[in-house]
Amino acid sequence: MNMTAPNLPVVLCTLPLDAAGLSLLEGVAHVVVAPDQSADTLRQMIGDADVLVVRTQLPADLFEQPNRLRGVVRNGTGLDFIPVASATSHGIPVANVPGANAQAVVEYCIGGFLLLSRRFAEMDSGLRRDGWTAARALSASTSELSGKTVGIVGVGTIGASLAHACHHGFGMRVIGSQPRLDALPAFVEPVDIDTLFARSDFISLNCPLTDATRHLVNAQRLELMKPHAVLVNASRGAVIDDAALVDALSRRAIKGAMLDVFTEQPLPTGHPFHQLDNVVLTPHAAALTQESSARMSLGAARQVVQLLKGERPEHMVNPEVWGEHSARSNAGSAVTDSGVSL
């Protein structure tokens, strides 16, 4: 599939870039958006791309296809969309945009805490359906965030920002669990994962998906949770064992959950989550606001330009391949500070 434009390198995007990033690439590259995100389409188009910008899941064998890639940039933070090990084995630099969506995700998580603890959605539907008095009665079982314990699983860039907002903004006690417990902020109490589930009034999942975190939220840990506890997942769907969570919510073993990510995406229409009234579902949108989309797009575009200029991207995640980068670049083209030259 020919995507070339005269004198310009090709940047293939799995989904459209925000206008902020596009403006940075104007005159520097020919930006092409894949017509769909299927594995076959990406395999067909990858051979004409100089840089790939990723917002959807890539097929595991994509870099096995003949290509001239100078690099891959994740328009976001999570790297599970990209087969990084395969890219590394083929000498392809991979970069991401850490922190650009942190504020959006932090606000999403706190929004989930408030939505579920104050029962806003139920009050709205109850007021419309049953009237003022019945809806107002729901306030008897609501609670404030102040003084409560929030457990954060994965206190990285996003988790640390969430911890700061919860502790300093809402007066919450913050406990955290992650592989390195000595790397937590001073106001976050380090605990093991089971203690976190047992002690928390609110739990936020902000960890990456790895072999160690897959189904970290299982039936045993859900049984440790308090009956009034709330779970928010803005990390990856497979961190949760869906069947175990459906069972816990169905039995009212916990108060509720707000889920932005799912093991299978889009979430199938017939999934049991759709039948539960104590779970709030959103379509993998926690990180997406006008502001965060612009920041992520700009951060991705800057690193695309760096790659096209032969410069190391500022947030490279596989630095061991950088020495191979020049050998994979197009022999006859380069991008200069003033534009494109052959």
- Residues 122-167 have pLDDT tens digits of 999 999 999 999 999 999 999 999 999 999 999 999 999 999 999 9
What separation, in Å, do the N-terminal and C-terminal C-alpha atoms of the chain show?
23
Residue 7: per-residue pLDDT: 84
Tens digit of pLDDT per residue, the chain (342 long)?
Answer: 556 555 899 999 999 999 999 999 999 999 999 999 999 999 999 999 999 999 999 999 999 999 999 999 999 998 999 999 999 999 999 999 999 999 999 999 999 999 999 999 999 999 999 999 999 999 999 999 999 999 999 999 999 999 999 999 999 999 999 999 999 999 999 999 999 999 999 999 999 999 999 999 999 999 999 999 999 999 999 999 999 999 999 999 999 999 999 999 999 999 999 999 999 999 999 999 999 999 999 999 999 999 999 999 999 999 999 986 655 554 444 444 434 332
Within a 13 Å sphere around the CA of 110, how many CA atoms are in the beta-carbon half? 22
Report the number of secondary-structure helices (H) and strands (E) in the chain: 13, 14
List the Cα angle 12/18/20 in 5-degree steps.
110
CB 51 within 8 A of CB 8: no
**Continuous segment of H or E residues that includes residue 221:** helix 219-224
Report the candidate in 247, 233, 261 with the shortest Cα–Cα distance to residue 113: 233
pLDDT at position 9: 97
The secondary structure of 94-129 as a DSSP string is EE--TTTTHHHHHHHHHHHHHHHHTTHHHHHHHHHH
Per the confidence metrics, is the pTM higher than 0.85? yes
CB 176 within 8 A of CB 155: yes
Domains defined for the chain, CATH in brackets = 10-100+290-341 (3.40.50.720), 102-281 (3.40.50.720)
φ/ψ (deg, to 5) at 13: -110, 135
Asked if 206 and 159 touch (Cβ cutoff 8 Å), the reply is: yes
Separation between Cα atoms, residue 207 and residue 211, nearest integer Å: 12
Phi and psi at 304, nearest 5°, equal -60, -45
Count of CA atoms in the C-beta half-sphere (13 A) of 210:
8
Closest CA to 58 of 66, 70, 73: 73
Q: At what angle do helices 102-117 and 120-130 cross, to 10 degrees?
A: 50
The C-alpha angle 293, 37, 270, rounded to 5 degrees, equals 95
- The b-or-e profile of 38-76 (16+ CB within 10 A means b, else e) is eeeebbebbebbbbbbbbeebbeebbeeebebbbbbbbb
Could you give the CA distance from residue 108 to residue 274 in angstroms, rounded to a whole number?
Answer: 20
Looking from the CA of 285 toward its CB, the CA atoms found within 13 Å total 11
Q: Which residue has the tokens 């092409």?
A: 32
The pLDDT of residue 342: 23
Angle at 257 between CA 253 and CA 262, to 5 degrees: 120
Residue identified by tokens 């690193």 is 303
